[in-house]
Amino acid sequence: MRAGRLTLLTLVGLLATGLATAQESSSRTEPAPPMAGPAASLRDTLSAACSHDEVAFKTFLTARNAQSFSRLTIAARTELMKRFVLLSDPGKPKAMANAAGRPIVSCTTPYGTAEIQIGGADIRDAIAFLPVDLREASDPDTGAAHHVLFGMVRENGEWKVLSIGLLLLDLPSLEVEWDQAEISTSEQQALESLKKITAAIETYRKSYARLPKSLDKLGTSKKGAPTPDGAGLLDVDLAAGKKNGYSFRYVIVGANDVGAPAQYELSATPSIYGRTGKISYFRDSSGATHAGDHQGAIGNVNDPKVK
C-alpha cells in the first residue's frame, strides 16, 4: 500500500467493531461557520493532527496527557498525531461544514486526501461522544469509511480529547511502553551514525591529508563546492553532533592531526537517558567500538567491544 493511504494503526485497532456510526452528511460543503463545544474542539484537534502541529494539538489534550505528550520524543509525538487521522504524512487541513452545519476536516497530503466528517455530539454532563467517519476522498476504491467514536471531556471549561473508540487516551501509562519500543531503534541508529561519522572522517583525511578539527567541518559547505571547512560528507544533524536521540562527540587524540598517524575518538550518548537510549557507545583511537550503560555519561575503552 502506498505511503499516505489510510491505514489502521496499532492504537486504533479496536475501533472498527461495536462503535456508533456517524450521521450521514451531505457531499455539498461550504465555509465552516463559527461554532463552539466538543465538535469544534474535535475539528481543531484533527486539523492539528493532520498538519502535525504539536503546539496546537497539545492544547486539546487533558492536563495530565499534555504533560506526558511534552515528555515524549519527537517521533512518538508525531506517531500519536498520525493515528488520529490515519495518515502517515503531514497534510494541509481545511475545515468545512456540510448542509446541516456538521464539521468536516479535509486533510490533503502529497499522496492523497482524507475526509473526516464529525457527527452530532451526545453530551452527558462533562462528557461528550462524537461519531466520526474517516475516508480517503482521493481514492474511491479504498472502500467504506472507518467509523470511530471520539470521547471528549470538559476540563476547566474547555473540551479535551478523552478517548478514541474503545481506548481511553492515557498517555502517562503509555510512556514507558513507547520508550522501550523506541530505545532499541535509537541505539541501533546511533551505531549506524558512528559508522557514518567514521567513514566521513576517513574520507576527509584522504582528501585533505589531515583530520577535521570538528564535526561541523564535515557538513555542507556554505560556498557550494566542498572545502576543508565544509566537506559535504555528513547531513546537517550529524555535523551538528545530534541525531535520532543521541549526541555525538569527536576528539582528536594528541597534538597531531596530520596524515595517517593522526588518531581520534568518537562517542555517542543518549540525549535523554532512559527515553532515547540507555547504551553509551565509544570508538577508541584504534577503531574498536565499545558499549556500556553509563546512565547517560560518555563510555570508555573499558566497556565491552561491540561485535
Q: In this predicted model, what pLDDT tens digit does every residue of 124-164 receive, in sequence order?
A: 889 999 999 988 876 655 556 788 999 999 999 999 999 98
Asked if 204 and 66 sit in the same domain, the reply is no
Which helix (H) or strand (E) segment holds residue 106: the answer is strand 103-109
Domain region containing 39: 10-169
Confidence at residue 141, expressed as pLDDT on a 0 to 100 scale: 57
Confidence at residue 34, expressed as pLDDT on a 0 to 100 scale: 43
Confidence at residue 118, expressed as pLDDT on a 0 to 100 scale: 95
Confidence at residue 7, expressed as pLDDT on a 0 to 100 scale: 35
Asked if 179 and 111 sit in the same domain, the reply is no
Of 169, 184, 210, the position where a domain reaches its end is: 169
Query: Residues 50, 92: contact at Cβ < 8 Å?
Result: yes
Confidence at residue 144, expressed as pLDDT on a 0 to 100 scale: 66
Asked if 23 and 148 sit in the same domain, the reply is yes
Beta-strand pair 122-124/127-136: antiparallel
Asked if 94 and 223 sit in the same domain, the reply is no
How many angstroms separate the Cα of 221 from the Cα of each of 98, 171, 226, 241?
Answer: 52, 42, 6, 16
Confidence at residue 15, expressed as pLDDT on a 0 to 100 scale: 35
- Confirm whether 78 is domain-assigned: yes
**130 phi, psi to nearest 5 deg:** -130, 120
Confidence at residue 23, expressed as pLDDT on a 0 to 100 scale: 34
How many angstroms separate the Cα of 285 from the Cα of each of 181, 185, 198, 251, 254?
Answer: 32, 26, 11, 10, 10
Asked if 159 and 227 sit in the same domain, the reply is no
Give which of 296, 44, 51 is closest to 187, Cα–Cα.
296
Confidence at residue 138, expressed as pLDDT on a 0 to 100 scale: 62
- Confirm whether 5 is domain-assigned: no
Q: Which residues pair with 242 in a beta bridge?
A: 247
Asked if 104 and 180 sit in the same domain, the reply is no
Asked if 149 and 49 sit in the same domain, the reply is yes
| Residue 306 DSSP symbol | P
- Confirm whether 301 is domain-assigned: no
Asked if 33 and 57 sit in the same domain, the reply is yes
Asked if 137 and 181 sit in the same domain, the reply is no
- Confirm whether 118 is domain-assigned: yes
Grid coordinates representing 64 are: 495530565
What are the residue ranges in the chain where pLDDT is below 70? 1-36, 138-144, 174-179, 181
Of 169, 202, 232, the position where a domain reaches its end is: 169
Of 132, 148, 169, the position where a domain reaches its end is: 169
Asked if 29 and 157 sit in the same domain, the reply is yes
